[in-house]
Structure formats: C-alpha cells, structure tokens
Amino acid sequence: MELSILLAMPGATEIILIIIALLILFGGRKIPELMKGIGQGMHAFKKASKGDDETGAVSEKTK
C-alpha cells in the first residue's frame, strides 16, 4: 500500500514540467493572482467548514 502512494506522488521532474506549463499558459503576472485567489478560496472554505458554532457564539455574545 505504501508503494502505491509513493508511486502516485509526483517527482521533481513532474513538478518542474507542471510549473513550466503553468508559466506558458498563464504567464508570470497571472500566477500570483491565481495563487492569491486559491488562498482566499481555501481560507473561506476553512472558515465555512468550521460551521455556525463560531457565528452562533458571536451572536450570543452580542445579545
């Protein structure tokens, strides 16, 4: 089972090829904007996945 996980992970060559392909497709200026958008999306997802517990606690404190 560990061998199949190890084989599924990309190596250095694959990562370099992916980075080159991204640079060709999006250019150097769009990649930081893309990463910023992905980061904001992940932050919003984590915030939403924590659920209504935090928002409920805040609303109880304000009452």
- Tally of domains within the chain: 1
- For residue 31, give the nearest of 17, 41, 15, 20 by alpha carbon: 20
The span from the CA of 25 to the CA of 17, in Å, is 12
Q: Which two tokens stand for residue 47?
A: 């915030």
- At 62, the pLDDT band (50, 70, 90 cuts) reads low
pLDDT at 52 over 70: no
What digits encode the pLDDT tens for the residues 5-47?
666 777 889 989 998 898 888 888 888 888 899 999 999 999 9
Q: Is 7 within a domain?
A: no
User: Which is higher by pLDDT, 60 or 13?
Assistant: 13
Q: Which pLDDT score, from 0 to 100, does residue 26 have?
A: 81
Q: Is 8 within a domain?
A: no
Write out the residue range of the structural domain in which residue 51 sits: 28-63
User: Which is higher by pLDDT, 33 or 62?
Assistant: 33
Q: Is 1 within a domain?
A: no
